[in-house]
Amino acid sequence: MNQEQKRHQPSEFSAGDRLEHSIYETLKVTEKGIELPLIHWERMKNGGQILGIQVPKYPEWIERLRKYLENTACKAPFALRVSLSQARKEFSLNDQSPHWSFSWREIPYTAEQYRKGVRIIFLEEIRQDRFPLTTIKSPDYLNTGPALKELEARDAFEGLWCNPRGEVVEGTRSNVFFVRDGTICTPPASSGCLAGTRRRIVKDLALKLNIPFRDKEVFMEDLLQAEEVFLTNALMGIMPVSQVENTPVSRSIFDGITAALIQSYKEI
Q: What is the pLDDT of residues 193-229, one digit of tens each?
A: 988 999 999 999 999 999 999 999 999 999 999 999 9
Q: At what angle do helices 37-51 and 197-208 cross, to 10 degrees?
A: 130
Is the distance from CB of 30 to CB of 61 less than 8 angstroms?
no
Segment (H or E) for 167 = none
- Name the pTM for this structure: 0.89
Torsion of CA 68, 69, 71, 75, to 10 degrees: 150
- Per-residue pLDDT band for 92 (boundaries 50, 70, 90) equals low
Q: Which has the higher per-residue pLDDT, 252 or 55?
A: 55
Torsion of CA 38, 42, 43, 49, to 10 degrees: 150
Of 15-19, 35-39, 99-103, 150-154, which range is least confident?
A: 15-19
For 15-105, CATH number?
3.30.470.10
What does the pLDDT read at residue 12?
42
What does the pLDDT read at residue 164?
93
What does the pLDDT read at residue 7?
36
Residue 21, pLDDT above cutoff 80:
yes
**Residue 63: partners with Cβ closer than 8 Å, 6 or more residues away:** none
Residue 184, pLDDT above cutoff 90:
yes
CA–CA gap between residue 268 and residue 265 (Å, rounded): 5
What does the pLDDT read at residue 94?
60
Report domain extents, the chain. 15-105, 111-266
**Residue 238: partners with Cβ closer than 8 Å, 6 or more residues away:** 198, 202, 230, 231, 232, 258, 261, 262, 265
| Partner residues linked to 214 by β-bridges | 185
Residue 93, pLDDT above cutoff 70:
no
Q: What is the mean pLDDT of residues 38-60?
A: 94
- Per-residue pLDDT band for 89 (boundaries 50, 70, 90) equals low
What does the pLDDT read at residue 91?
52
* Range list of H helices, the chain: 3-7, 37-51, 58-70, 111-116, 145-153, 197-208, 220-224, 256-266
For 111-266, CATH number?
3.20.10.10
